[in-house]
Amino acid sequence: MNLKNIIALLIILSANQSINAKEFDLYSKENTAVHLDTSLFIKRYQELDKYYSTKKLGSFIENGKTYFRLFAPSAEQVRLCVFKNLDDKTGKEYFMAKDPNGVWEIETDDELTGSYYGYKIFQKGEDISNANKTICVDPYAKAVATFTTYMNPRRAIVTKEENYDWEGTDWIKQDPRDLIIYEMHVRDMTAHKSSGAKRPGSYNGLIEKGIKGGLGYIKSLGVNTVELMPAQDFGFAEIPFQDSIDGKFNTWNPYERNHWGYMTGAFFAPASYYSESRDKFKWNTWLGKDGKQIKDFKDMVKAFHKEEIAVIMDVVYNHLSEYEAGNLKQIDKEYYFRLDDKGNYLQTSWCGNDLKTERPMVRRLIVESILHWMKEYKIDGFRFDLATLIDWQTIDEIYSEAKKINPDVILIAEAWGGGGYSPDGFSKHNYAAWNDQIRNGIKGENPNDAPGWIFGQWYNNNSPKRIKSYVNGTLVRDSLGLFQKKEHSVNYLESHDGYTFGDFIRIASHETDPNKIIKNIDKHVKLTPCQTKLNKLGALFLFTAQGITMIHAGQEFARSKVVPHTIDVNDPEKGRIDHNSYNKDTETNYINYKHAEINKDLLNYYKGLIELRKKYEAFRRADYNNIFFYDNPKSKFALGYSINYEQQTFIVLFNADQKNEVEFTLHEGTYDVLVDKNSAGTKSLYEVSNKIKLEPASGVVLKLK
């Protein structure tokens, strides 16, 4: 063990985390365990599928008694440990009994509401006299307290179902074609001082009234759905920089943080990380010890629902938090994870371990987690991270069971991962999916050498035919289309991954050098005329295409993610634009509302496009056969189409040519111009007839009078 590991161990011991040096070494070696008899291991590994139980799992209170149940079929012995206080050095231990289906259970004669608990789990060959055995968190825990170190020791909290007052609010019923999704991070929306939040970075801060940021700002945009980046309890700390565990050296993350949250640690529990204000967070202390994160999360959802805004959760069921001690790895590694024939974790997700979702009880855990968030927190839908790593039977069961609770539930897949790329497969299973085709085709794959259509270039196999396909929802009926229905296509140009759309344009336009140190971020953020035109052109295409529309937080003002050049971290990218800010709990990620003011022209343009899309169903529900395309002979990057919908006719025209002005001949009649190069909305800017000219990198929306 090196010095940093010893320090981390001492920190855990000082918090009474029941882990000693021997256990620490065992933990750090277990990822590379080798089974001497491969054939016996494979046989045992396969036979674990036979275990299944329908018993209620987790901890729960009934008739004055507290019940504890844990599924761990491979374990030789399990002890329940109950703590009255988090800082107790020892807890009361109970030996649990195992039934024939692999469930360990015990009941107590009293209600233990508010007590902390965990499990000591001994596998075959382990020393059952080891009093310092690692304590595992209950995978069905409804609330957890987390100690803020990279090992993320957790204690489950016994909770009792309360009659929360939803004040008459419920799921938001929406046709999927009507969704305008705002992907956002709970902390980022109010962590910056410009938000004005009294509790910055928290659930409560997000819904504070009378501040510049948070819910009030989101409502002002006009979006009808928010997609929360992961808010199930997660591992937010990574290995100390230049240190290692399980043979993995942290040479990539000097911040030692996982800011985005894609390292889930408890599938049923809201992240206590967001119940604390950013300015009150401390290392080496407990978060969530009073369980108030349950109420805080419900208060947040209720506040959004009062504004008729649906709430989708980004959920991670393809892998588990990578480094922490005391989770499913110690509960039953061989049941819960995909392993090779030597017992090593498979990591097709590139995240350290892949969950074996095809196991019957892993499938049950995932499905029941989804249903819990729907019933207990009124969640309207889910976006599944790296969804191709989830087996199809589980995907189908999620769909069928969720629909029983809310027929309008929103189910979206990130249709790639180590398991391949399959938006068409998810569409066949009635899921929507992020449409990478429209993202790469319109914006480009990367800003350095693969810009897309808005730059007057064709990315990869893009073409005028493909652009027309995107307008119609990227349907399989078109060449190289992906979706059975247009409402399965989640159209987007920016997400949490990669460069922001604004930064992509800054770099691809060659007006910003990505290698240059940026010291005046406010000056850097201000869009040039060229950058403004390209941002508007991309947004116009996005909001007029058939399918679901999604934007990422800050896209509406060309948010830029710049690593502060003054930050006291050994980051070689200080002062530069960041394209993978998962680890930076800094102003790199926080929404700076001053920048929204700086680029208010673009912000208002987005608001106008949202208003346009919401008012006119033609851009959401037009029939495939009522959309008619026409090209412009002067440029292959110019495109026009008309939409006929319920006695209304619209014409949408684009000129993605960077150099040439183009002219379009209009059908007979007079048209109101609702969108042009400057403004967007539902009111007529002026009238045109016969012909209209478009400058390079511009577009218009016309409505027949």
Read off the pLDDT of residues 596-613 as tens digits, 9 standing for 90 and up.
999 999 999 999 999 999
Question: What is the per-residue pLDDT across 542-551, written as a single tens digit (0 to 9) for each?
Answer: 999 999 999 9
In this predicted structure, what is the pLDDT of residue 6? 33
For residue 641, which phi and psi values (nearest 5 degrees)? Answer: -155, 155
Label residue 323 by pLDDT band (50, 70, 90).
Answer: confident
Quote the pLDDT of residue 31.
38
DSSP state of 415: -
For residue 355, CA distances in Å to 63, 230, 285, 318, 345 come to: 35, 17, 29, 6, 9
Task: Return the C-alpha torsion angle 200, 231, 490, 407, nearest 10.
Answer: -120
What pLDDT shows up at residue 1? 37
Helices 360-377 and 293-306: angle between axes, nearest 10 degrees: 60
Please check whether residue 195 is in contact with residue 593, taking contact to mean a CB–CB distance below 8 angstroms: yes
**Average pLDDT over every residue of 282-297:** 94
What H or E segment, with its residue span, contains residue 38? helix 38-47
- Work out the pLDDT band at 139, boundaries 50, 70, 90: very high
For residue 14, the surrounding DSSP H or E stretch is helix 3-14
pLDDT (0 to 100) of residue 258: 92
For residues 524 and 408, is the Cβ–Cβ distance under 8 A?
A: no
What is the structure's pLDDT at 682?
Answer: 98
User: From CA 336, how far away is CA 321, in angstroms rounded?
Assistant: 13
Is it the case that residue 281 has pLDDT exceeding 50?
Answer: yes
State the average pLDDT over residues 4-30: 34
The pLDDT assigned to 25 comes to 37
pLDDT-derived band of residue 419, with 50, 70 and 90 as boundaries? low
Instruction: Average the pLDDT over 478-495 and give the result.
Output: 96
Given a cut of 80, whether residue 8 has pLDDT beyond it is no
pLDDT at 17: 34
Mean pLDDT of 271-294: 92
Amino acid 351: pLDDT: 85
Which structure tokens are listed for 234? 């997660």
Q: Which of 316, 319, 314, 318 is nearest to 329 (CA)?
A: 319
For the cut 70, the answer to whether the pLDDT of residue 32 exceeds it is no
Give the pLDDT band (50/70/90) at residue 18: very low
Confidence (pLDDT) at 386: 96
* Least confidently predicted of 148-157, 478-487, 627-636: 148-157
pLDDT at residue 151, rounded to an integer: 84
Kindly tell me if the per-residue pLDDT of 30 is higher than 60.
no
| pTM for the model | 0.94
Nearest to 619 by CA among 547, 705, 704: 547
Look up residue 333 and give its two tokens: 């590694």
Residue 446, SS3 per DSSP:
strand
- pLDDT tops 60 at residue 26: no
Domains of the chain listed by start with CATH number: 3-34+59-157 (2.60.40.10), 176-615 (3.20.20.80), 624-704 (2.60.40.1180)
pLDDT, mean over the chain:
92
Greater model confidence, 352 or 368? 368
User: Would the pLDDT of 9 be above 60?
Assistant: no
* Banded model confidence at residue 578, pLDDT cuts 50, 70, 90: very high
d(CA 535, CA 127): 62
For the chain, give the longest Cα–Cα distance.
Answer: 89
3 state SS for 544-572: HCCCEEEEECCHHHCCCCECCCCCCCCCC
pLDDT value at residue 469: 97
Residue 247 pLDDT grade (very low, low, confident, very high; cuts 50, 70, 90) = confident
Per-residue pLDDT tens digits for 655-670:
999 999 999 999 999 9
Predicted pLDDT at 152: 82
Q: 386: left (phi > 0), else alpha (psi -120 to 50), else beta?
A: left
Q: How far apart are CA 357 and CA 423, in angstroms?
A: 19
Dihedral, 392, 393, 395, 396 alpha carbons, nearest 10: 120
Q: What is the mean pLDDT of residues 622-646?
A: 96
Residue with tokens 């305008």: 180
Question: For residue 391, what pLDDT is reported?
Answer: 96
Give the distance, in angstroms, between the CA of residue 346 and the centroid of all CA atoms in the same chain. 23
pLDDT of 316 over the 50 cut: yes
The pair of structure tokens assigned to 110 is 């009293």
Over the stretch 194-246, which tens digit does the pLDDT of each residue have? 999 999 999 999 999 999 999 999 999 999 999 999 999 999 888 889 888 77
Residue 20 has pLDDT above 80, yes or no: no
Question: pLDDT > 90: what percent of the chain?
Answer: 84
pLDDT band of residue 617 (cuts 50, 70, 90) is very high
